[in-house]
Amino acid sequence: MAERGFQVARLPGFATTAIIVFVALYLPIFTLVAYSFNASTSLAIWGGFSLDWYAKAWDNSQVKDATLRSLIIASFAAVISTTVATMAALGTTRRRAFKGQTLIYVMINQPLMVPEIVTAVALMIVFGLVKVWLTANGMGALTTGLGYLILAHSAFCIPFAYLPIRARLEGMDLTLETAAADLYATPWQIFRRVTLPLLAPGMIAGAMLAFVISLDDVVITEFVKSGGQDTLPTYMLGQMRRQLTPEINAVSTMLLGLTVVLLTAFFLLTRKKT
């Protein structure tokens, strides 16, 4: 009789530990969703089922403005970071190994390796220097606007877009590209007609992941934004500091739903077909 290999699921207490972990992860989320339908103004006392807080959130002009601002920033950040990440992935995979390749890989993924607050402070300092220079040269009008937030989110989202794109490139068969080159196709024609269509699922997945990361970001936004530039997460944080009502639960639930939809699409695009 053949010996069975090691299986972690057979360890004593594995099932119990797994249940505890899942409860710790998802019970707070389920509680949040449930209390978003609470008729009471209290976050801790159930007052019956109601959709009033969703209606109030929908009619709240500040929520609408913050949501629209978040979507604009996340959309631009996703496009910019995906474009840069695609070029970086092509430059680090579609060539022979070279000195410094590991360093480049580390630099691209730097936002993943350091605390987010460090990146936020660094971006705040850089943008502060830029604004001082612009003001000194009579271009003070350019010191405000969403451009700084878009650039900050784009820089932070690059590694999140880079990873699925690079993984897609590394999993692609080079035969079609080689065949196109043998048929005298130019590098641009090979990229446009062969590489890009095959790479598209990875690019879409990277863009969606970058969009979600930007949409949920609080730390970088808090350090970079100017007055009146609250995104939905920073608006929610400000409301929680002033007054806690189930309206925050309703907004959080809607944001959670959007995130789940995008991450599900990301999973479907990146999973390997059997």
The b-or-e profile of 219-246 (16+ CB within 10 A means b, else e) is: bbbbbbbeeebbbbbbbbeebeeeeebb
- The pLDDT assigned to 157 comes to 92
- The pLDDT assigned to 1 comes to 45
Report the CATH fold assignment for 58-270: MetI-like fold (1.10.3720)
CA distance 222 to 244: 20
- The pLDDT assigned to 14 comes to 81
Q: Which residues are bridge partners to 197 per DSSP? A: none
Q: Which residues of the chain have pLDDT under 50?
A: 1-2, 274
- The pLDDT assigned to 159 comes to 92
CA distance 22 to 184: 55
- The pLDDT assigned to 59 comes to 87
In the chain, ranges of CATH 1.10.3720.10 domains: 58-270
- The pLDDT assigned to 270 comes to 65
- The pLDDT assigned to 273 comes to 55
Give pLDDT tens digits for 33-77: 888 888 887 777 788 888 888 888 888 888 889 889 999 999 999
Q: Which residue has the tokens 């350019």?
A: 142
CA distance 206 to 157: 9
- The pLDDT assigned to 3 comes to 54
Give 1-46 as a 3 state SS string. Answer: CCCCCCCHHHCCCHHHHHHHHHHHHHHHHHHHHHHCCECCCCCCCC
**83 burial via Cβ count (<10 Å: 0-12, 13-18, 19+):** middle
Query: Which pair of structure tokens corresponds to residue 203?
Result: 């690019």
Q: Which residues are bridge partners to 38 per DSSP? A: 49
Question: What letter represents residue 195's amino acid?
Answer: T
Q: How far is CA 162 from the centre of its chain?
A: 12
